[in-house]
Amino acid sequence: MTEDVVELLQSLIRIPSVHPEHTADDTISGELNLAQHLAQRLHEMGANVVLENVRENRPNLIARFAPRDGRPRILLGPHLDTVGIAGMTIDPFAATIDDGKIWGRGACDTKGPMAAMLWALNAQRERLKSLPVAIDFVAFISEESGQWGSKHFIQHHGVDYQFAVVGEPTAMQVVHVTKGSLWATLRAEGKSAHSSQPELGENAIVRLIESLSLLDREFSQEIRQFSHAVLGSPTMNLGVIRGGSMPNIVPNFAEAEMDMRVTPSLAAAGGGLALLKQFIQRHQLPITVVKAHENSPMEIPVDHPMIERLIACADFPCKAVGAPWFSDAAHLSAGGVPSICIGPGSIEQAHTKDEWICIESLRQGAKYFSDWIDSFEN
């Protein structure tokens, strides 16, 4: 691999890797093509590369530059998948350069950080086998929904690692604490009847709306007590609602989907799902939680030696910060591998209709990761 980090990122953007839940187009769906492309590159760089299926034709990539000889292991870990391309105003896979930026799906989230990491590993390839630590490159599937890649990896390989540097667009700040998330479906049931005699039925939509109103007024305030000095308070959003079938039928079902962002103290108090169920029971609301998926928050102490090293390596203003979003780093941390997020690009550009990354930021990230690898010689 001899190309500049800009050319490297362009080549990655031009390989579609849209999460399968975000597209119906098989020609751009899935991470396999990108994983195979990276495997070839990393093999040429001298790595021992494994593609490990997590879902059918959806592999994590694990590249090891040093043998398993007992030295501490650290991983650089971006994710392979991107969100969908619906509504984009630019060619999502052209990787056009304009106005000092590279444009395209994944430019900042997270092929930009990926390119910076790969460029640094290649720049330091001759030294990676002899460093006092082993630095591996691991690319995860499915970060944008489900996080199946990082969950699988931590279960099968977590014991081998002492720290993880997860690639996300953080404007080159060290994100050491993030909120967790709860997605839950709330369902109300009723009794159908003809709309000319609604008194003979039980309207599930009305039941649901009344319950949601109480949740929005009171439950959202209750969880505010679990605030965090960096992250602020937990939040709740009611994002989807559906129910009924026809205007002239009293609906016998209705449901809503909610998103809660969970702070470490809320997680320590039992988690968002437990508190939600307690609130529903305490107020005898006519709803049930029929589907729920909760992800833990992440918090690594700012005085962790690796965080101190990451900050010390920067030749630009860099500090430990928090973020309200969720990433693979939380699953790795929950599984016993302390993890942080860092990378070039801004989260404000992630998932947008005209996603881009500044070339200056990309180059800064590539140099930074190379300097960080270099620091282990000192």
* CATH code reported for the domain at 180-295: 3.30.70.360
Predicted confidence (pLDDT) per residue in 344-370, tens digit: 999 999 999 999 999 999 999 999 999
Here the tokens at position 175 are 């994100």
Cα–Cα dist 359/366, whole Å: 11
| Structure-token match 């998103």, residue found | 259
Q: What is the number of other CB atoms lying within 10 angstroms of the CB of residue 166?
A: 30
Predicted confidence (pLDDT) per residue in 280-298, tens digit: 999 999 999 999 999 999 9
190 vs 377 pLDDT, higher one: 190
**163 closest CA partner among 97, 74, 238:** 74
| Predicted structure pTM score | 0.91
Across 60-74, average pLDDT:
96
CA distances from 225 to 213, 221, 235 (A): 20, 8, 11
Across 265-289, average pLDDT:
97
Predicted confidence (pLDDT) per residue in 221-266, tens digit: 999 999 999 999 999 999 999 999 999 999 999 999 999 999 999 9
pLDDT of residue 377: 84
Q: Which one is catalytic: 31, 81, 136, 143?
A: 81
Three-class HEC string of the chain: CCCCHHHHHHHHHCCCCECHHHCCCCCCECCHHHHHHHHHHHHHCCCEEEEEEEECCEEEEEEECCCCCCCCEEEEECECCECCCCCCCCCCCCCCEECCEEECCCCCCCHHHHHHHHHHHHHCCCCCCCCCCEEEEEEECCCCCCCHHHHHHHHHHHHHCCEEEEECCCCCCEEEEECEEEEEEEEEECECCECCCHHHCECHHHHHHHHHHHHHHHHHHHHHHCCECCCECCEEEEEEEEECCCCCECCCEEEEEEEEEECHHHHHCCCHHHHHHHHHHHCCCCCEEEEEEEECCEECCCCCHHHHHHHHCCCCCCCEEEECCCCHHHHHHHCCCCEEEECCCCHHHCCCCCCEEEHHHHHHHHHHHHHHHHHHHC
Percent of the chain scored above 90 by pLDDT? 97
Is there a contact between 236 and 255 (Cβ–Cβ < 8 Å)? Answer: no
Predicted confidence (pLDDT) per residue in 301-335, tens digit: 999 999 999 999 999 999 999 999 989 999 999 99
Residue length, the chain?
378
Say whether pLDDT at 219 is over 80: yes
pLDDT of residue 173: 98
Cα–Cα dist 227/339, whole Å: 22
* 189 is an active site residue: no
Q: Which long-range contacts (CB under 8 A, 24 or more apart) does 88-96 make?
A: 88/353, 88/354, 88/355, 89/353, 89/354, 90/353, 90/354, 90/355, 92/16, 93/13, 93/14, 93/15, 93/16, 93/28, 94/13, 94/14, 95/9, 95/10, 95/11, 95/13, 95/14
pLDDT of residue 3: 78
Cα–Cα dist 14/9, whole Å: 9
The CATH architecture of the domain made up of 5-178+297-377 is 3-Layer(aba) Sandwich (3.40)
Say whether pLDDT at 39 is over 60: yes
Q: CATH 3.30.70.360 region(s) of the chain? A: 180-295
Say whether pLDDT at 1 is over 60: no
* 216 is an active site residue: no
Side-chain-facing half-sphere of 283: CA atoms under 13 Å: 18
**311 closest CA partner among 189, 41, 303:** 303
Cα–Cα dist 315/374, whole Å: 13
pLDDT of residue 2: 59
Across 7-15, average pLDDT:
98
Cα–Cα dist 18/26, whole Å: 9
Q: Which one is catalytic: 144, 255, 299, 355?
A: 144
Q: CATH 3.40.630.10 region(s) of the chain? A: 5-178+297-377
Say whether pLDDT at 378 is over 90: no
Across 60-75, average pLDDT:
96
**205 closest CA partner among 184, 183, 186, 182:** 186
